[in-house]
Amino acid sequence: MSAPRLRRAVRANRAQRAGVPAALAALLLCASSVAASTPGADVRLSNDDPGLSGYVSADDLAGLPHYSDATLDECSRSRGRENEPAVAIDPRNNQVIVGSSNDYCAVYNNGSDANGAPIPSGPIWLGYYRSEDGGASFDSSLVPGYPGDTSTLGALAKIRTASSGDPVLAWDADGRLFMGSESSDDPGGSKKTFGDVYVATYVNLNGPGGNTLNDGQRYAGSTVVARGVSAPNLLGKFNDKTSIEADRTDSSCRGNVYFAWSRYTGNGTNAIYFSRSTDHGATFSTPIKLTESTINEVQFPDISITSNGHVYVTYRQFGQHKQPDAVAVAKSTNCGGTFLHGQVIQTFAPMGLVDEQTGGGRARDCGDGLGTACTSGYTFFRADTGPRSTADQADTDHEWVYILYEAIVPGSEVATGTTFGWGFVQGAGGQSAIYYVRYNGATGAHTTPARIAETPEGQQLFPDLAVDAGTIHALWWDTRNDVNNGASSFRTRPPGNDADGNVGPSFDTYGATRPIDGGGWTSAARISDVTSNGQYEQFAGRTVPFGGDYLWIDSKDGLTYGVWTDWRNTVPGTDLREATQDETGADVMQCRHVTPSGSISGDTCPRQGGLDQDIYGDLAP
């Protein structure tokens, strides 16, 4: 049996083991396109469990001689954490889907301390999750270049850092996949945070003319786009919050790759920067600044390309120093060579969770003890408004950019009765909803912001959108199925928290669609099969929860696929370090003991499910 046929047979078997219905698996394997996508059985992208398929090397995916190492072996058994997922469907063959995430699967790949606790010092890296059956199953891998990678393809990675995250993905029109990332930690082990951004390129094994099932399969190297200035604790020049897109139009810009990010300088201000590649990711231009010096805080750039090759970079402007909270945009009409300075599209009342730590100071996330507890007694991960945008590169009739963002619904504001707040204001609650705006790049006009797929009870967080053949597809986290919050409390407490700070399942992934012109949004459709508890304390030494900063959706040729962070496999437990257990549902399984010196050991069983945070995906409306 040939290697491709063998891989497809393995994936079909894995799909059956994962519970994917045989009829759905057959449909996904055989159809080159479908009229519409309907959510089915959720599929796991991060197979970091000894009972699953584990992780394989980029060499193996490319058909080179078998390679593995201690990092990949650890990833195959770790039951670790993954968050901030991305996904991209090959425009030449929608059966080829690649996902990514911040992948912590190798963190405990460095032995144990004197008390038997595995040492959390291994790399956090970019996952590479590949499907060749329309998302029915995925092979899990890592982008080459992680510390200790001596693979054949790993020699092509020119990365100087020991960690990598914030993945963003884009396909060009010739079978190349580009994966953007920020990267930081010093391989020497110092506290320096380098703050580089880079782009990894994957190509078809046989070039643009090869079988499209092999698109984006072979790693071809990584290129540093911009370097940070090394300094401890993010105090140097640090590049973060990345975005990427490739030009697939028939314009003179076809083939260009564009990359944008937010540059921090350690003095409390930052700016949006941009670079382009005209040689398929081999090199990138000197970065240019898109925002003016009078604008103090900007993040979350997102790149859209219209059919004439014009480039639009939307971003979040934060309300401070007399500037409003707003979605803004910068535009290029010469293939990303130069830009008009950014202008505000729409102001809004921002969504953002905030509280007061018991030791003083504002907190964007709270635990249930150990110095991370907040005065309200609630446990929650950070979340705030992060606009997303896209355009249809095949739409020659319009120069439209489609935008989603979260905002507090006017008139929904209430007092929380505690120090917790929903809109970056302690004590002030409200409902977070997703708003849609269509921006006309040719005229600068935009539609009136309108809520999408409204829910009378529950919060909407972390939206993303894709457009394909005249239809907009949206995805977001939704808390309408929150077990601890209903009509009387969802605006005054964080997701999953009851009045006493006990937490339970609250997060589902939902989706909806609408035509690009005329009509409205469909009713929200549930995509995830399981409502999961996102408030498990799995980070900062099992003291706070973290869900990342975004989810992702893509749509090509009638197939739409969404991915999200999921906690269905997390094993709950108790924390020996907490003298009293005054709430439940946040602590995860961890094995600690009192040492002969009287101290409490580290977690001696991090691979037994307490850290099992995963990336799941499914067909989306």
CATH second-level architecture of 3-619? Answer: 6 Propeller (2.120)
Give the pLDDT band of residue 36 (cuts 50, 70, 90): low
- CB crowding 506-523: b at 16 or more within 10 Å, else e: bbbbbbbbbebeeeebee
Phi, psi of 419 (to 5 degrees): -80, -10
Percentage of the chain lying above the pLDDT 70 cut: 92
pLDDT in tens, 75-126: 999 999 999 999 999 999 999 999 999 999 999 998 999 999 999 988 999 9
Angle, CA 243 vertex, CA 553 and CA 309 arms, to 5°: 90
- What DSSP letter does each residue of 474-493 carry, written as one string? EEEEE-TT-SS--TTTTTTS
For residues 406-425, give the mean pLDDT: 96
**Can you tell me the distance from the alpha carbon of 14 to that of 35, in angstroms, rounded to the nearest whole number?**
26
* Domain boundaries along the sequence of the chain: 3-619
DSSP state of 557: T
Percentage of the chain lying above the pLDDT 90 cut: 83
For residues 378-406, give the mean pLDDT: 97
Is the pLDDT at 320 greater than 90? The verdict is no
Give the pLDDT band of residue 581 (cuts 50, 70, 90): low
**Can you tell me the distance from the alpha carbon of 408 to that of 432, in angstroms, rounded to the nearest whole number?**
5
Minimum mean pLDDT among 10-19, 53-62, 190-199, 237-246: which range?
10-19
Residue (of 381, 398, 527, 544) closest to 470 by Cα position: 398
* pTM score, whole prediction: 0.93
Q: What is the pLDDT of residue 188?
A: 77
Residue (of 422, 433, 416, 417) closest to 380 by Cα position: 422
Coil/strand/helix, residue 60 = helix
